[in-house]
Amino acid sequence: MTPVPPARDRLRIAIQKSGRLADPARALLASCGLSWRESRDRLFCYGETLPVDLLLVRDDDIPGLIADGVCDLGVVGRNVLAEQGADRAANDRPAAFREWRSLGFGSCRLALAVPEGWAWQGPAQLAGMRIATSYPALLSRWLAEQGVAAEVVLLSGSVEIAPRLGQADAVCDIVSSGATLAANQLKPVATMFESEAVLAGPVAELDAVRGELAALLLRRLDGVLRMRHSKLLLFQAPRAVLPSLLPLLPDAEAPTVMQVDGADELALQALCHGAVTWQRLEELKRAGARGLMVLPVEGMLA
């Protein structure tokens, strides 16, 4: 019988202890106003500003911890969440976690790669082949969708070396820059899955105190994510040039306009959601803007 975890009135979020997502996950949560007192073994961080604690674990364990109710939320790669979700589905187990938000970092893709010398003609070519992967459920599902019968060889790491060792004919693994594939004389031929870090949580909403804490956190998180690439642009300009400045700010919310030094001189404040590059500032200056200042935006509560 599965043990029932004791009731909690603090929210618990699992993140990677170390690895690619550890620092950005912690930085993102900190930018939502959370801070922690770390325990000496660093596996549990007690929330100080809010009753939101961190659990530091291997990323592969995060979906299971959510499924078991040991933690409420987790920051994990969509690839890990999808693999474990596909595995549950393949074994007729009910869904026990889902993606709550995509977080905009840790981008990579799950790709099928074959030796560089192969002339790739499509998935049918894989029939009867051995494919090494750490993502057996996603690979099996993709092969079934393609109607191809191939052998899945499970490896927990260093997958790209399998063809050279004669363990497999092709591989299915995470690709980002493609450097690991190239170093192993492999080429990507199909993308199965686009991934990034996500906030994962249970299928149903949380309730009571933890539900309220999660709602508060999501409101802050949405504000941070929305503002992540936004900048506040401050500048002055004569009223007459306004019609030629506004087309240069297509991604800006309606600017706040203040009158200075009489009716003709304006001070403007525009929240830009796209990149505010030097080139763009120079174009604004050529069009008559002066005193251009770009400020970062840390968050927004609508």
Ligand X SMILES: Nc1ncnc2c1ncn2[C@@H]1O[C@H](COP(=O)(O)OP(=O)(O)OP(=O)(O)O)[C@@H](O)[C@H]1O
Residues making contact with ligand X (CB under 6 A): 16, 19-21, 58-60, 77, 79-80, 106, 108, 174, 176, 195
Q: Hunting for tokens 């996603």 — which residue is that?
A: 138
Q: How far is the CB of 180 from ligand PRP (least distance, A)?
A: 3
Q: Which of residues 60-89 bind Mg ion (CB under 5 A)?
A: 60
179 touches which of Mg ion, ligand PRP, ligand X, none (CB within 5 to 8 A by kind)?
Answer: ligand PRP
Q: How far is the CB of 164 from ligand X (least distance, A)?
A: 20
Residue 236 · residue 293 · CB < 8 Å: no
Identify the H or E element spanning 273: none
Q: Supply 159's token pair.
A: 């997958």
Q: Which is nearer to ligand X, 29 or 237 (CB)?
A: 29
79 touches which of ligand PRP, ligand X, Mg ion, none (CB within 5 to 8 A by kind)?
Answer: ligand X
Q: Can residue 99 be called a binding residue for Mg ion (CB under 5 A)?
A: no
Q: Supply 243's token pair.
A: 């019609």
Q: Which is nearer to ligand X, 58 or 93 (CB)?
A: 58
Q: How far is the CB of 159 from ligand PRP (least distance, A)?
A: 7
Alpha-carbon distances of 291 from 31, 235, 281, rounded to whole Å:
29, 5, 10
CB atoms within 10 A of CB 231: 19
Residue whose C-alpha is closest to residue 72's, from 219, 199, 223, 195 = 199
Q: How far is the CB of 73 from ligand PRP (least distance, A)?
A: 23
Q: Which is nearer to ligand PRP, 53 or 59 (CB)?
A: 59
Q: How far is the CB of 62 from ligand PRP (least distance, A)?
A: 15
Residues 243-250: contacts with CB under 8 Å, at least 24 apart: 244/287, 244/288, 245/284, 245/287, 245/288, 245/289, 248/280, 248/283, 248/284, 248/287, 249/284, 250/274
Q: Which is nearer to ligand X, 197 or 213 (CB)?
A: 197
Q: How far is the CB of 88 from ligand X (least distance, A)?
A: 18
Name the site residues for ligand PRP (rule: CB under 6 A).
157, 160, 173-180
Q: How far is the CB of 115 from ligand PRP (least distance, A)?
A: 16
How many residues of this chain interact with Mg ion, rule: CB under 5 A?
2
Q: Supply 45's token pair.
A: 């961080």
- Please tell me the total number of residues recorded for the chain in this structure: 302
Pick the binder of Mg ion from 59, 72, 160, 173 (CB under 5 A).
Answer: 59
Q: Can residue 17 be called a binding residue for Mg ion (CB under 5 A)?
A: no
Distance CA 28, CA 45 (A): 15
184 touches which of Mg ion, ligand X, ligand PRP, none (CB within 5 to 8 A by kind)?
Answer: none
Helices (H), the chain: 22-30, 62-67, 78-90, 136-146, 162-165, 179-183, 208-227, 242-245, 278-286
Q: Which is nearer to ligand PRP, 108 or 289 (CB)?
A: 108
Q: Which is nearer to Mg ion, 58 or 286 (CB)?
A: 58
Q: How far is the CB of 191 from ligand X (least distance, A)?
A: 14
Q: Supply 10's token pair.
A: 């603090």
Residue 152 · residue 133 · CB < 8 Å: yes
61 touches which of ligand X, Mg ion, ligand PRP, none (CB within 5 to 8 A by kind)?
Answer: none
- Contact footprint for Mg ion (CB under 5 A): 59-60
